[in-house]
Amino acid sequence: MIIDIHTHTFPDKLAATTIPKLEVMSHTRAYIDGTNGGLKASMEKAGVDYSVVLPVATNARQVQHVNDSSERINERFDETGIFSFGCIHPDYADYRAELARVQELGLKGIKLHPVYQDVNFDDPRILRILDRAAELGLIVITHAGYDVGFPGRVRVTPAMVCHAVKEVGPLTLILAHMGGWRNWDEAEQLLADAPVYLDTSYSLGNLNPLDDGYYKPEDLPMLSQEQFLRMVHSFGPERFFFGTDSPWGDQAENLARIRSLSLTQEEKDGILGGNAQKLLNFPEK
């Protein structure tokens, strides 16, 4: 079973305007159009069984609407194989009640993006969300490291993560982008013994740049295969989930990269879907 635990979609009309804006902002090109239909077609082409959509609330006013939209996506889960998590914003006043509603809606978890939400990961507003999510048994997936759309700005460092999990205690926390996009050396040094999981999204391969000359050739490579494999073996393969960051990563290309690595078949099977299946308990296919 192949499960992509890190994707993004938007309603069709919103995708038509949002994806071009994000492309200009990040100077990178999306692989698909950012709609649920586009993601479904990508899944069929790549052989992905399930994809998890991770919505981001960029302000507190969006939270309830986005969570309602996530529930509607999940109403078609049996048909599409697309399952949405919920969201929360650190400035949302009644976060305790809304996270309880996320649980009641069956959304399984939430996505945080402290760069877009302009808050450090170990800020008290995030810590209280993590604590409440742990209380409710919700999974938390957070962006980690730098963001290609916000050069030089980092709100989730491995050191902040270590501080946060020490303050909060046990929770199911997944750090996107191999523990910290372009914070990989620090992630390798600080997180191997931390009680966290990592996803593989937007880590292997190269950026997919626009033809605007913004990036130099040396800016394009991301995490080396050597460091990726070293992290898998030092952290333990059971702590990794396959993710692509679609539409910013191509599902078929990312699958091929993982499959080409010098890992055992058991390790590949776990990373590509087995580990996520144990966590999410999706229907067997």
For the chain, give the mean pLDDT. 97
Rounded to the nearest 10 degrees, what angle do helices 158-168 and 124-136 cross at?
Answer: 50
The CATH superfamily assigned to 3-280 is Metal-dependent hydrolases (3.20.20.140)
215-258 pLDDT, tens per residue?
Answer: 999 999 999 999 999 999 999 999 999 999 999 999 999 999 99
The kind and range of the H/E element at 78 are helix 77-80
Q: Where are the beta strands (DSSP E) in 209-264?
A: 240-241
199-220 pLDDT, tens per residue?
Answer: 999 999 999 999 999 999 999 9
CA angle 254, 258, 260 (to 5 degrees): 115
Instruction: Show Cβ contacts of residue 193 under 8 Å, excluding neighbours closer than 6 positions.
Output: none
91-137 pLDDT, tens per residue?
Answer: 999 999 999 999 999 999 999 999 999 999 999 999 999 999 999 99
Q: Where are the beta strands (DSSP E) in 139-226?
A: 139-142, 146-147, 150-154, 173-175, 197-199
Q: Where are the alpha helices (DSSP H) in 114-243?
A: 114-117, 124-136, 158-168, 184-190, 225-235
The CA-based dihedral angle spanning residues 224, 228, 231, 237, taken in that order and rounded to the nearest 10 degrees:
180
pLDDT band at 144 (very low <50, low <70, confident <90, very high): very high
Q: Quick check: 285 pLDDT over 90?
A: no
pLDDT band at 26 (very low <50, low <70, confident <90, very high): very high
Percent of the chain's residues with pLDDT above 70: 100
149-168 pLDDT, tens per residue?
Answer: 999 999 999 999 999 999 99
Q: How many CA atoms lie within 13 A of 30 on its CB side?
A: 25
